[in-house]
Amino acid sequence: MQTQEQLNRIQIGPETLSLPQIDKRGTNVSSYIIRGGNRLLGDVKVSGSKNAALGIISAAMLLDGPCWVDNVPDIADLNVMLEICRALGAQIKRESDGTLYINPCTITTCEATYDKVRSIRGSYYLLGALLGRMNRASIYMPGGCNFGTRPIDQHMKGFESLGASVTIEYGKINVEAEHLRGEHIFLDVVSVGATINIMIAAVKAEGTTVIENAAREPHIVDVANFLNTMGANVRGAGTDVIRISGTPVLEANATYSIIPDQIEAGTYMLAAALTRGDVTVHDIIPKHMEPLTAKMEEMGVKTEVGDDTIRVYMEPDQQLRAANFKTMPYPGFPTDLQPQTTVLLCVAEGSSKMLENVWENRFQYIDDLKTMGAEIMVAGHTAIIAGSSQLTGAKVMARDLRAGAAMVLAGLAATGETEITDIGKIERGYENFVKKMRMIGADIARIVE
């Protein structure tokens, strides 16, 4: 039961919400309350890709003219990114139709030492963009989710190959070049961030740059397509060899629309299966969802793929089969869906394994799942999930963005009430999460302080 004080803090919601509704919009959000047990039913639209948008907004800082970017998600990480770009001097405004007008020609500094640089990961793309634009850049060390060490040696190696010197001092990364020239770069590890950062910097380098062992994620292709639309010459994005022919001036003056968010889409697909629901996820690129769709089908989930939709459905009494997963760079199974998928494995029949191959430490949420009744054992990079658990509501925490989304999913499948604290981490990456979840029938409310 809620105390009267808690009830007074619950935000307004649709009629389906069983809790009293009091509008407190604009105040600080601190937790979600979920009453589990509802089957999710209906339609949900996916927003623009967070990780593509972070790369594209940074890449826009390289241009020699204005551009218009559509489908930019309204999420905390992106809004921080826009603030940082404005602090560099770029003009950015939202048009009435939601499109972002971006003019980087008014940039006055190559120093991104605005405090918020430290609060997001994607701010490090400004190194590549400002290096390309001004031959110098200085930014605070980027932040982001804590999965253990997050080295940036491959970014540095790439910039050095292009002719830049790199130093790290007083918490700042400084890169400087007299002249950027194309080079052959072989990445020691497949890194999304290093691939995008080097690609952005190389766009204005003299001659041709070849990035080998490049990451192939959909958002890398999206950043490359954006740059090409603005006048660059990037070939091979989406394969492991990317060739960039340097272009001294990028005229821009064009419009670009960001791809849908693969991870947001996957989160709703998993939520539908978990609640034995029937949800159609709209505005997606089904090809990007194949690593998930194939595994969900293996578990017994039914899917119907349209041109830009996927319907995910299960009978109310249908059992899910156990399965083994390994996270890998694209087109492998995405690490950013690992925590949400582990929740699904908790309720499947039989024992499953989840092997985390990308990050050193991305199982920090497992203890929260155990608090909710899950039986999981972690051995090194593998979580062994006993399955057939009836989750029960508890007070848990959003340890990071995707771990937080996983807690929401667990709450939807649990009996009773789940409270999730520190939900600012979830709202860094999911646009209108509560609203969208409620539209498909979830009983979830935001508690504000």
* Nearer CB in complex with ligand EPU: 209/335: 335
Nearest CA to 89 out of 61, 108, 103 is that of 108
Residue closer to ligand EPU by CB (options 218, 441) is 218
Please report which helix (H) or strand (E) contains residue 310, including its range: strand 309-313
Whether 346 is a known active-site residue: answer no
Task: Kindly state the smallest distance separating residue 256's Cβ from ligand EPU, in Å.
Answer: 18
The residue sitting closest to ligand EPU, measured at its beta carbon, is 193
Rounded distance, CA 316 to CA 427, Å? 30
Distance of CA 221 to the CA centre of its chain: 15
Closer to ligand EPU by Cβ: residue 256 or 359:
359
Q: What are phi and psi of 105, to 5 degrees?
A: -65, -15
Q: In the complex, which residues of this chain contact ligand EPU (CB under 6 A)?
A: 50-51, 54, 121-122, 145, 150-155, 189, 191-194, 215, 335-336, 358-359, 401-402, 429
Nearest to ligand EPU of 98, 151 (CB atom):
151
Of 246 and 266, CB closest to ligand EPU: 266
The HSE-up count of residue 256 (CA atoms within 13 Å, CB side) is 26
Measured from the CB atom, is 143 or 286 closer to ligand EPU?
143
What are 386's two structure tokens? 């006993």
- Given 67, 110, 145, 346, the catalytic residue: 145
* Residue with the two structure tokens 């850049």: 137
Nearest alpha-carbon partner for 428 in 272, 279, 263, 191:
263
**Beta carbon nearer to ligand EPU, 159 or 313:** 159
Contact (CB, 8 A) for 324 and 348: no
Closest approach, Cβ 152 to ligand EPU, in A, equals 5
Could you tell me which of 211, 216, 246 has the C-alpha nearest to residue 232?
246
How far out from the chain centre does Cα 289 lie?
14
Torsion angles phi and psi, residue 246, rounded to 5: -60, 140
The least CB distance from residue 144 to ligand EPU, in Å, is 7
| Residue 115 beta carbon to ligand EPU: minimum distance, rounded to whole angstroms | 19
Cβ atoms of 141 and 212 within 8 Å: the answer is no
Closest approach, Cβ 106 to ligand EPU, in A, equals 26
Concatenating the DSSP letter of every residue in 23-89 gives --TTSPEEEEEEE--PPPEEEEE--B-HHHHHHHHHHHTT-SS-EEEE-----HHHHHHHHHHHHHT
Give the span between the Cα atoms of 110 and 303, in whole angstroms: 48
Please state, in angstroms and rounded to a whole number, the distance separating the CA atoms of residues 377 and 50.
Answer: 31
Residue 43 identity: D
CB of 4 to ligand EPU, least distance (A): 37
Q: Measured from the CB of residue 111, what is the shortest distance to ligand EPU in angstroms?
A: 21
H helices of 135-178, in order, are 153-161
123 Cβ partners below 8 Å, 6+ apart? 58, 80, 81, 84, 112, 116, 117, 139, 140, 142, 143
The Cα–Cα gap between 131 and 146 comes to: 27
User: Closest separation between CB of residue 148 and ligand EPU, Å?
Assistant: 8
* Closer Cβ to ligand EPU, 114 or 430, answer by number: 430
Catalytic residue numbers read: 145
